[in-house]
Amino acid sequence: MVLLETVERADATSVTCLTTTHRAPDNPLRHGGILAAVCGAEYGAQAVAVHGALNGRAAGGYIAALKDLRTHVARLDDIPGPLRVSATRRLADDHAMIYTFSLSAECDGAEHLLVEGQVTIFLSGDTP
């Protein structure tokens, strides 16, 4: 499943993507028609994958840990504008990557933080 639509900005340590898939009625993360804010963790993890691919780390991996997840809204499907999904690498080696991520959206002329957290990815072939 691909949830991110556009890379807005990327550099050696971070990426920012835009998407409107949170509004799609057929979003595969919806449950009972609602896209809960906790699903923002998947959006963040996908931004990490995009950043890894842009920086030559296209090898697969899996989420080993999700830490400090904070939701500032109950749901994402009722956010009218695009989501801005940002991820910043904090640590990376040949075995794992740690990123912080955030989802935000512009509402009433100001950017509002919706979801934030930290994700640890173990790269394929490695075990915890």
Q: What is the pLDDT of residues 38-71, one digit of tens each?
A: 999 999 999 999 998 998 876 678 899 999 999 9
Domain count, the chain: 1
Which residue type, as a one-letter code, is found at position 103? L
Whether 87 is in a domain gets the answer yes
pLDDT band at 126 (very low <50, low <70, confident <90, very high): very low
Whether 65 is in a domain gets the answer yes
Q: Give the chain's count of helices (H) and strands (E).
A: 1, 6
Which residue type, as a one-letter code, is found at position 102? S
Q: What is the CATH number of the domain that holds 95?
A: 3.10.129.10
Whether 101 is in a domain gets the answer yes
Whether this prediction's pTM lies above 0.85 is answered by yes
Residue-number span of the structural domain to which 97 is assigned? 6-123
Tokens at 83, concatenated = 């989501």
Angle value at C-alpha 68, between 4 and 48, nearest 5 degrees = 30
Query: Could you tell me where the DSSP H helices lie in 1-128?
Result: 40-54
What's the average model confidence in pLDDT over 3-8? 98
| Alpha-carbon distance values, 100 to 24, 48, 57 (Å) | 26, 9, 17
The predicted-structure confidence for 7-42, as pLDDT tens digits, reads as follows: 999 999 999 999 999 999 999 999 999 999 999 999
